[in-house]
Amino acid sequence: MSFGICEQSLIPVRKDANHRSEMVTQLLFGETYKVLETNDNWVNIRISNDNYEGWIDSKQHSTLSDQEFKHLSTHPYFVSTYLVQVINSITKNTIFPVLLGSNIYEKQNTPYFLNQQEYSFGGELTPSNTTTNKSTIIENALMYHHTPYLWGGKSPFGIDCSGFVQMTYYLSGIKLLRDASQQATQGETINMISEATAADLCFFDNEEGEITHVGIMLPDHKIIHASGCVRIDSIDHQGIYNTESQSYTHNLRLIKRLI
């Protein structure tokens, strides 16, 4: 098996090996992955952080040696907490943007080598193994407020409901699975909305009983979630209530606690 790393600001990961195929997730700078299959134009990958699979354009694939993949898998790293910041590619004498939640493998302003390229990053960072609390999770969630909804998105320029939850917790040092239905298998079940507290995850189902949406509880019976954009709405035992449309938009199915 071979390996790779995202050396661009953002790489779309598609369901099938076709540019017209839906985007199911994204890679942010510094994320590593295993290569499952290749052809002339596409690479089938499994992302290290959440084991999510999909296809990337072979022109965006950067091969990583077995030795460096193992090193990065155990090496402490940092997560960018800027919405957008530039990273300096010392080797190529150029700069390019990296986004909130990108992986940086050395402390602020400290040059480091990644896949034989030397980089330096001057933005704010948090250790990936940081200890967190509910207040930090809420602060991180609010950084995405008003981000437009994008199916498969993971960035402050476009994000979906489960990507929003995953990235909020990732910034807080907690790794979650990618899809809402997968995230619903994690954590401790909370039986009643009255017992829910800030930072708990609320899951919502469709008419077939399938979990299709997720959001993060806020104080005062509010929830922050990605629906059209990352927004704040009211929530009760029935579900999410949109005061603009004066209607319930999502039916509450399950509440989980991770912290």
Nearest to 161 by CA among 47, 25, 6, 32: 25
161 a catalytic residue = yes
Catalytic residue among 6, 161, 202, 250: 161
Catalytic residue, candidates 225, 229, 237, 250: 225
What number of residues does the chain have? Answer: 259
Structure tokens at 132: 């967190």
d(CA 107, CA 128): 12
Q: How many angstroms separate the CA atoms of 179 and 165, rounded?
A: 9
The active-site residue, picked from 6, 61, 202, 213, is: 213
202 catalytically annotated: no
Is 213 noted as a catalytic residue in this protein? yes
User: How many Cα atoms are found within 13 Å in the side-chain-facing hemisphere of 208?
Assistant: 3
Residues near 215 by beta carbon (within 8 Å), at least 6 away in sequence = 161, 165, 201, 202, 204, 223, 224, 225, 226, 235, 240, 250
- Would you name the residues annotated as active-site residues? 161, 213, 225
